[in-house]
Structure 1
């Protein structure tokens, strides 16, 4: 088992120069590991003498670092006892995984403008398909038993072709068809995470991952984020220090809409490979690029990293199109395929047949239509924000369907409660936090709706601000 000193040594070995005195670097390294969850509340730290010996530092350096941590209330110190991480290192509690996920789900009442869920309405081809399925399916929509428990072979072939176009060297036996991206995520996390071990993820992230981590008996480990998304340099250090069994990342990032560069993606994947960490690359929104080209899948970068790639149709075609997939090595895919079949006897064969047609004949045109519609709605949303709430802060997204909006001075949960009462429910930042405070004063604002609906929604939200 890796000790606290081992983790600190890895962080310090890769610390950038020019970050302040050595005692401050040591204190910062302990805070970084504590904030990320790698060192938990109550963890006993080595004595000053033992840590100085282990890290080849002077005892005065360790003494000064510990004193700094005491002054900032990171350490609990009792006479004659080793220091322990204090209450500031306590992770999120008081919110169940179900409560967290419920904050992004639509409520029972039909809202004036529903903005809690980042799910789109149907694309034109979806509406046409459900009006007369036989036209797209070249015959009766109901065939055989209606089961395709292990995945319709024609759909699997279409998924393989789509992955290969994205640079992933996929084979049919490496693909698992799922009931949407959420099930793919749950299967992936519970399939690769270890009980008691950490699963690394961005410090604000998609709420659906927390239940999967809990189901695996694992714990969360927060990868640092900055104003422009994932802090790859700091994340690489943390991976090396904590060596988690799995790391979950999203493209484009949910909820901030940020993306990392290809060079940073390579750095992250190479470190994951070196640490034996399986990367779970959630690309449910990965094709929805608003600026430039979509980021390449991590599995296409040739780094040798173990990668599970998640994809699906819900963010492009329709939220109700509950067909997703994951790509992994053949052994893991076979295990997860059987688990999936045992859970629900497979995704409906009818939807799988439609999905195959959508992928083969309508993917590129529908993707282009969806992005154009999103850009129109984003423009209207930004104009409305400037008019009705000019003090609110946000970064223009690189891709994906959401803005990550800060309402200065607001309590995110109270703001979300007032918004719901006014008929415009939104997901508060607390639903996305891995580290307490990561979503402070923020809410997620999806812009899938029409420009007119987005303008009305922003106007009502602005009226609820403090």
Structure 2
């Protein structure tokens, strides 16, 4: 993000005025469009509001912008050659469409991380750079010659990667499948998007866990789906709740994250797994199983997926490399009946004509290499260490004021604050102090829940980050 140069001889307000004029002339802010408020622009640029006031005054004097009380500041419609009635109303377009924006909290968190890169990040659900197999992947790229063909690949994804995934899924997840039943995607998010758009219709009822990351994904609402809750306790969901929702709402699909559930970290117990299998088989209900965290099991004994027991093809199984290797590879997969794979591969091809070939080949080489298991061992050890640091910091900074269940895998710690909070104020107060987290209401929970992700922050920042959070918490508690 552009920032004014404080070492320049030109005044800060003049630099800001020049920058805005340039963006306006490039069409980023067309005639009639609303500019950011003085306060927000000052925050983004790291200057006093009075500096932005001077910049706006400079642009107004040139007739480039115009301000009206109660209506904000807009780009002038008379200064530019374009006739106002022929200028598209981009604000209306931005607010329209059927695909909804991210929830306000998620947009605020993203905005804060962009504006303040030094924030201690307990919000982002991805691995820190030092946990990714960067050296191993670089070595593989030296050892192997990758294809010189850079055209469109098989709509289902790289044949090499799908072949490697057949062995990977059987060895590490106990899933028996063939390459024709695997669809490569850009990650779990795209897999879910394809399912909601292609296999379901507006008005369909689906069941999701409560709390659930699904509540943070606007794609479910954008698809017009009706979400019904399956409460999660320390042993996962209750299978009888699935039966009840089916009888009452005729749910068409169940979305589950049974292993190291996001955000609670729970694992669906064995007894309930069998009960769930019986209930869904009896009702003919498909399950979408998202399994991103299993291989992070700190004891090296990952729980089996539901798909490993699926002998009738009723489970659509989703996996990815984002939580065990590197989110930047943008590699995920879905195991499904061949008819479903063909349908979704056709839809995905309409979207992007297929994924990039090179990352698929790198991923295929990596999971089949001697680098993979040592990487997993190191990842588990580092994640467990970071989890323990986080818990130690919470016990030190907020003794007797917070409750949590220690997870045995995954990247998250789900916490309940003993005092009810205004989660918006708590988030803003935390950002002001230099730390960010995800409020529990993002996942459909009450405002006294928070999710801390410990995979992203540096080891040396975890204690300091919780100290800053506790300061914000105490400030709001008087």
Alignment TM-score, normalising by the size of structure 2: 0.71
Contact 2:300/2:377, CA 8 A, preserved across alignment: no
SS of 1:230's equivalent in the other structure is: coil
Work out which of the two has the higher radius of gyration on C-alpha atoms and give 1 or 2.
2
Specify the alignment match of 1:112 in structure 2. Answer: 119
Q: CA RMSD in A?
A: 2.4
SS of 1:226's equivalent in the other structure is: coil
Question: 1:265, 1:376 → 2: CA distance?
Answer: 30
Matched, 1:396 2:402: no
Q: Deviations over 1:56-110 (max 9, x none)?
A: xxxxxxxxxxxxxxxxxxxxxxxxxxxxxxxxxxxxxxx9644365366473120
Question: 1:208, 1:105 → 2: CA distance?
Answer: 17
Matched, 1:336 2:344: yes
Matched, 1:283 2:288: no
Distance change (3 Å), C-alpha of 1:182 and 1:120: same
SS of 1:399's equivalent in the other structure is: coil
* CA displacement at 1:364 relative to structure 2: 2.3
Specify the alignment match of 1:406 in structure 2. Answer: 416
Contact 1:199/1:213, CA 8 A, preserved across alignment: no
Distance change (3 Å), C-alpha of 1:182 and 1:324: same
SS of 2:302's equivalent in the other structure is: coil
Q: Deviations over 1:314-373 (max 9, x none)?
A: 101122221001111000011111211221222211111111012111332222211110
Contact 1:129/1:135, CA 8 A, preserved across alignment: no
Question: 1:176, 1:233 → 2: CA distance?
Answer: 32
* CA displacement at 1:142 relative to structure 2: 6.2
Contact 1:206/1:432, CA 8 A, preserved across alignment: yes
Specify the alignment match of 1:89 in structure 2. Answer: none
* CA displacement at 1:291 relative to structure 2: 5.3
Of 217, 222, 231, the match for 1:224: 231
Specify the alignment match of 2:170 in structure 1. Answer: 164
Counting only pairs closer than 5 Å after superposition, residues 5-404 of structure 1 correspond to structure 2 as 97-99=102-104, 101-102=106-107, 105=110, 107-109=113-115, 110-122=117-129, 126-128=133-135, 131=138, 134-136=141-143, 138-139=144-145, 141=146, 143-145=148-150, 147-148=152-153, 150=155, 151-165=157-171, 166-207=173-214, 210-250=217-257, 251-290=259-298, 293-302=301-310, 304=312, 306-361=314-369, 362-390=371-399, 391-404=401-414
Question: 2:221, 2:343 → 1: CA distance?
Answer: 20
Distance change (3 Å), C-alpha of 1:103 and 1:125: closer
Contact 1:179/1:346, CA 8 A, preserved across alignment: no
Question: 2:362, 2:130 → 1: CA distance?
Answer: 13
Question: 2:174, 2:431 → 1: CA distance?
Answer: 43
Of 403, 427, 431, the match for 2:438: 427
SS of 2:347's equivalent in the other structure is: helix
* CA displacement at 1:133 relative to structure 2: 6.0
Specify the alignment match of 1:442 in structure 2. Answer: 449
Contact 1:146/1:348, CA 8 A, preserved across alignment: no
Ranges in structure 1 where 5+ consecutive residues have no aligned partner? 1-94
Distance change (3 Å), C-alpha of 1:143 and 1:121: farther
SS of 2:288's equivalent in the other structure is: strand
Contact 2:298/2:384, CA 8 A, preserved across alignment: yes
Question: 2:151, 2:376 → 1: CA distance?
Answer: 28
Moved more, 269-278 or 245-254: 269-278
SS of 2:452's equivalent in the other structure is: strand
SS of 2:415's equivalent in the other structure is: strand
Distance change (3 Å), C-alpha of 1:303 and 1:157: closer
